[in-house]
Amino acid sequence: MRAHLTRRYMFSASHRLHSDQFSEEENRLTYGKCNNPFGHGHNYMIEITVSGFVDDQTGMVCNLVDLDGVVQDKILERYDHQNLNLMPEFKNTVPTTENLCIAIYEIVSRGFHEAHLDKVRIEETMMNSFEYAGEDL
C-alpha cells in the first residue's frame, strides 16, 4: 500500500516583500507592513511530504535519516537565520511564502530521490499556510 510520510522542520528567517515592478506607492498598497524597508522575520514551519510503496525489507517509504540529512544540508543550513531577500533565488523574485514553497520544493526535488516528493507545506505563522505540489498535478 502506498504511504505518504510527512516530516516537520523549523527555521527562522527575515524578509521584506517588495517588487521592483511596482512603484513605491504600489508596493506599500500591495504589501502593507510587509513592505517595511528594514524587513521582519518569521519562524517558518516546513512540512515535507514524500510517498512510495513500503519496502518490505525495511518497512519504510524512505530512510528518514537520509531525508533529514538532505533537508538539514540543503534547506535548514541555507535558510535558517538568513535574510531571504539576499538569497540568489529571491534576487528577482519576491520572497513570499508562495515563492519560498516553490523554491524549497525544487531544492528537495533535485536533492532527494529515495521517494516521490508529494508536496511542501509552509506555515509562515499559525494563521496562514501555503502548499506547493509541483506543476504536474
Partner 1 sequence: MVFLTRKAEFSASHYYHNPAFTTEENRRIFGKCNNPNGHGHNYTLEVTVKGVVDPKSGFVVDLKELKDIMNREVLDALDHRFLNKEVPEFATKIPTTENLAIAIWQRLAPKLRAAQLHRVRVYETPDLFVDVYGDTNGPDAEAQGAV
Binding site for partner 1 (CB under 8 A): 1-9, 49, 52-61, 63-65
User: Regarding beta strands 2-15 and 82-83, do their DSSP bridges make them parallel or antiparallel, or are they unpaired?
Assistant: parallel
Q: State yes or no: is 124 an active-site residue.
A: yes
Backbone φ/ψ region at 116: left (φ over 0), alpha (ψ -120 to 50), beta: beta
Nearer of residues 34 and 45 to partner 1, judged by Cβ:
45
Q: What are the CA-CA distances from residue 1 to residues 53, 116, 137 (Å)?
A: 6, 14, 21
Q: What are the CA-CA distances from residue 100 to residues 21, 46, 52, 84 (Å)?
A: 19, 10, 25, 9
Report in angstroms how near the CB of residue 96 gets to partner 1 at its nearest: 24
Catalytic residue among 26, 124, 131, 135: 124
Report in angstroms how near the CB of residue 108 gets to partner 1 at its nearest: 16
The span from the first CA to the last CA of the chain, in angstroms, equals 21
Lookup: cell for 112: 532527494
Nearer of residues 65 and 137 to partner 1, judged by Cβ:
65
Q: State yes or no: is 15 an active-site residue.
A: no
Q: State yes or no: is 114 an active-site residue.
A: no
Nearer of residues 29 and 54 to partner 1, judged by Cβ:
54
Report in angstroms how near the CB of residue 62 gets to partner 1 at its nearest: 10
Catalytic residue among 4, 40, 81, 113: 81
- Residues marked active site are found at 34, 81, 124
